[in-house]
């Protein structure tokens, strides 16, 4: 513990001194499904007691009026070792994230392993960008039988080294064959890890793309995570159809879950295949005017056709936010117990004052707007969607709940005031920190106090399955 908590130490009552006690707060019990007054003791990087009694500790946080929650687990992001993205995420309570959808930089991997990181960071292995490249399938053609075998061997090595699953970005590599999906699903299944899937198409066309994934799941028994429902099927009224498909598959015994976001725009680099010919139709008649420029000299401006083409050709790394999602598609998946909340944050360049608000606002937005203001779901259910449910889905048993022996990843917030302040760059700062979060602890260290980071910048770890 290298915390800097304030307040007088509690009198000695229990055996063994804790480094830190969080007292007078209400604890979110995500296993017992209730919120009750408890004190939490921390020793080293672990929770050492959760009690109604007093705790003898070297330092104390008085959490009166506040909720003590497990640290938020961001099921899917593109933080991928970027320190600024991690800063934004931890200030909104994110203590763990899993990435790797687009790449896996071995340099970043080793740096986190050696020096630690602001938050806990794990990776899945990307079929579409890492495995295919590694075996020389650089274009959009289906891999040969030999290449598929080589990818399967390589995937197994990554899974041996702790990758959390195999990630398919099929919308960007539509040349992927069913054979590739099937063989790699079998590899994932042999390690009891999930496949994480962005379907071949978005919007209505996505509904017909579930088939191959469900078939692979039925044939191999692999667990499936459908990534970012909102940004894939929250378009043109397709969300309810997608939820029906998932529910039917679950009823038939397939192990399928999903995650979703909270903003009606997805963010991506303008040069990607997402905006290849025909994209307007896929996104229900969207146009260049729906594309907000989120990085570079034109940040905060909406595109016109000319600007859109110019940026695609000359500045393909420009981050944009595409306002194509249905507003009612945000709340629909929130009510489903098989849907978790992920940020999808930091896909594309991310530094101060650029990007999308999801990196700084998603979890407070869930707890402030959707739980408190709109009453879309009970507080404890919302907390489960960003703690124990995503943690268990990845087989992470040391995080996700406030219990003795768990890693001390903790968010202390005011449920009456928590709210996101980040916004898209035409309206505000995408990286504005939220209000209502008082403390964030990562592995027992206080990493955020108020909206400020402390000196503890390396408390997070490289997570391996
Ligand atoms: Zn993503």
Question: What distance in angstroms lies between residue 76's CA and the mean position of ligand 1's atoms?
Answer: 6
Question: What distance in angstroms lies between residue 150's CA and the mean position of ligand 1's atoms?
Answer: 25
Question: What distance in angstroms lies between residue 342's CA and the mean position of ligand 1's atoms?
Answer: 9
Question: What distance in angstroms lies between residue 347's CA and the mean position of ligand 1's atoms?
Answer: 7
Structure tokens at 202: 């978005």
Question: What distance in angstroms lies between residue 373's CA and the mean position of ligand 1's atoms?
Answer: 28
**Strands, sheet with 46-51, edge to edge from the N-terminal-most edge strand:** 46-51, 39-43, 18-23, 57-62
Question: What distance in angstroms lies between residue 129's CA and the mean position of ligand 1's atoms?
Answer: 13
Question: What distance in angstroms lies between residue 101's CA and the mean position of ligand 1's atoms?
Answer: 6
What's 178's domain CATH number? 3.20.20.140
Are both 146 and 244 inside the same structural domain?
yes
Are both 252 and 286 inside the same structural domain?
no
Question: What distance in angstroms lies between residue 58's CA and the mean position of ligand 1's atoms?
Answer: 42
Residue 460 lies in a domain: no
Are both 276 and 362 inside the same structural domain?
no
Question: What distance in angstroms lies between residue 261's CA and the mean position of ligand 1's atoms?
Answer: 10
The domain tally of the chain equals: 3
User: Residue 14 has what pLDDT?
Assistant: 47
Print the SS3 string covering 281-333: HHCCCCCHHHEEECCCCCCCCECCHHHHHHHHHHCCCCEEEECCCCCHHHHHH
Q: How far apart are CA 211 and CA 240, in angstroms?
A: 16
Is residue 56 within 8 A of residue 46, CB to CB? The reply is: no
Q: How far apart are CA 58 and CA 42, in angstroms?
A: 10
Please give the C-alpha separations between residue 87 and each of 197, 351, 439, in angstroms, as whole numbers: 27, 10, 14
Question: What distance in angstroms lies between residue 56's CA and the mean position of ligand 1's atoms?
Answer: 44
Question: What distance in angstroms lies between residue 344's CA and the mean position of ligand 1's atoms?
Answer: 5
CA 359 to chain centre: 9
Question: What distance in angstroms lies between residue 377's CA and the mean position of ligand 1's atoms?
Answer: 25
Which residues span the domain enclosing 445? 18-70+401-453
Are both 328 and 410 inside the same structural domain?
no
Please give the C-alpha separations between residue 138 and each of 200, 253, 313, 328, 400, in angstroms, as whole numbers: 18, 36, 20, 38, 38
Question: What distance in angstroms lies between residue 454's CA and the mean position of ligand 1's atoms?
Answer: 29
Are both 174 and 255 inside the same structural domain?
yes
In sequence order, the 6+-apart residues with CB closer than 8 A to the CB of 76 are 97, 98, 99, 101, 196, 227, 228, 259, 342, 343, 344
Question: What distance in angstroms lies between residue 174's CA and the mean position of ligand 1's atoms?
Answer: 16
Residue 11 lies in a domain: no
Closest CA to 74 of 63, 60, 85, 62: 85
Question: What distance in angstroms lies between residue 177's CA and the mean position of ligand 1's atoms?
Answer: 21
Are both 232 and 146 inside the same structural domain?
yes
Question: What distance in angstroms lies between residue 343's CA and the mean position of ligand 1's atoms?
Answer: 8
Question: What distance in angstroms lies between residue 422's CA and the mean position of ligand 1's atoms?
Answer: 19
Question: What distance in angstroms lies between residue 414's CA and the mean position of ligand 1's atoms?
Answer: 29
Are both 206 and 128 inside the same structural domain?
yes
Per-residue pLDDT of the chain (465 residues; tens, 9 = 90+): 444 455 555 444 445 799 999 999 999 999 999 999 999 999 999 999 999 999 999 999 999 999 999 999 999 999 999 999 999 999 999 999 999 998 888 899 999 999 999 999 999 999 999 999 999 997 889 999 999 999 999 999 999 999 999 999 999 898 999 999 999 999 999 999 999 999 999 999 999 999 999 999 999 999 999 999 999 999 999 999 999 999 999 999 999 999 999 999 999 999 998 999 999 998 989 999 999 999 999 999 999 999 999 999 999 999 999 999 998 999 999 999 999 999 999 988 899 989 999 999 999 999 999 999 999 999 999 999 999 999 999 999 999 999 999 999 999 999 999 999 999 999 999 999 999 999 999 999 999 999 899 999 999 999 999
pTM of the model: 0.95
User: Residue 138 has what pLDDT?
Assistant: 78
H or E element, residue 217: helix 210-220
Question: What distance in angstroms lies between residue 406's CA and the mean position of ligand 1's atoms?
Answer: 28
Are both 389 and 432 inside the same structural domain?
no
Are both 283 and 253 inside the same structural domain?
no
Question: What distance in angstroms lies between residue 345's CA and the mean position of ligand 1's atoms?
Answer: 7
Are both 256 and 231 inside the same structural domain?
yes
Residue 162 lies in a domain: yes
Are both 317 and 371 inside the same structural domain?
no
User: Residue 10 has what pLDDT?
Assistant: 47
Q: How far apart are CA 80 and CA 274, in angstroms?
A: 21
Are both 330 and 316 inside the same structural domain?
no
């Amino acid at each position: 513990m290298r915390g800097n908590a304030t307040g007088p130490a509690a009198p000695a009552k229990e055996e063994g001194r804790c480094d830190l006690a969080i007292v007078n707060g209400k604890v979110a019990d995500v296993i017992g499904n209730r919120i009750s007054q408890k004190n939490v003791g921390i020793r080293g990087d672990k929770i050492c007691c959760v009690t109604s009694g007093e705790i003898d500790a070297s330092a104390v946080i008085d959490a009166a009026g506040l909720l003590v929650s497990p640290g938020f687990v961001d099921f899917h992001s593109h933080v991928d070792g970027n320190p600024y993205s991690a800063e934004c995420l931890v200030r909104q309570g994110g203590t763990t994230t899993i990435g790797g959808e687009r790449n896996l930089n071995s340099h970043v991997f080793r740096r986190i392993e050696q020096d630690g990181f602001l938050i806990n960071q794990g990776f899945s292995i990307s079929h579409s960008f890492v495995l295919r490249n590694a075996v020389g399938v650089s274009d959009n053609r289906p891999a040969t039988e030999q290449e598929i075998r080589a990818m399967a061997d390589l995937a197994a090595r990554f899974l041996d080294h702790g990758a959390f699953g195999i990630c398919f970005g099929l919308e960007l590599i539509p040349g992927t064959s069913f054979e590739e999906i099937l063989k790699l699903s079998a590899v994932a299944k042999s390690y009891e890890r999930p496949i994480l899937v962005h379907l071949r198409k978005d919007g209505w066309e996505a509904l017909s793309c579930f088939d191959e994934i469900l078939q692979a799941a039925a044939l191999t028994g692999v667990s499936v995570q459908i990534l970012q429902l909102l940004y894939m099927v929250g378009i043109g009224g397709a969300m309810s159809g997608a939820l029906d498909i998932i529910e039917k598959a679950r009823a038939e015994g397939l192990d399928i879950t999903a995650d979703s976001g909270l903003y009606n725009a997805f963010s991506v680099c303008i040069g990607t295949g997402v905006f290849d010919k025909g994209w307007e139709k896929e996104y229900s008649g969207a146009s260049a005017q729906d594309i907000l420029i989120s990085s570079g000299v034109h940040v905060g401006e909406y595109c016109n056709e000319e600007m859109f083409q110019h940026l695609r050709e000359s500045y393909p790394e420009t981050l944009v936010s595409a306002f194509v999602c249905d507003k009612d598609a945000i709340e629909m998946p929130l009510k489903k117990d098989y849907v978790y909340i992920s940020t999808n944050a930091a896909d594309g360049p991310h530094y101060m004052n650029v990007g999308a608000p999801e990196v700084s606002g998603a979890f407070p937005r869930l707890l402030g707007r959707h739980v408190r203001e709109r009453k879309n779901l009970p507080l404890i259910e919302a907390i489960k969607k960003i703690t124990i449910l995503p943690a268990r889905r990845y087989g992470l048993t040391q995080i996700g709940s406030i219990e003795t022996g768990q890693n001390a990843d903790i968010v202390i917030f005011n449920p009456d005031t928590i709210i996101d302040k980040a916004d898209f760059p035409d309206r505000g700062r995408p990286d504005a920190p939220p209000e209502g979060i008082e403390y964030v602890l990562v592995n027992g260290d206080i990493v955020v106090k108020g909206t400020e980071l402390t000196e503890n910048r390396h408390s997070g770890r490289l997570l391996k399955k």
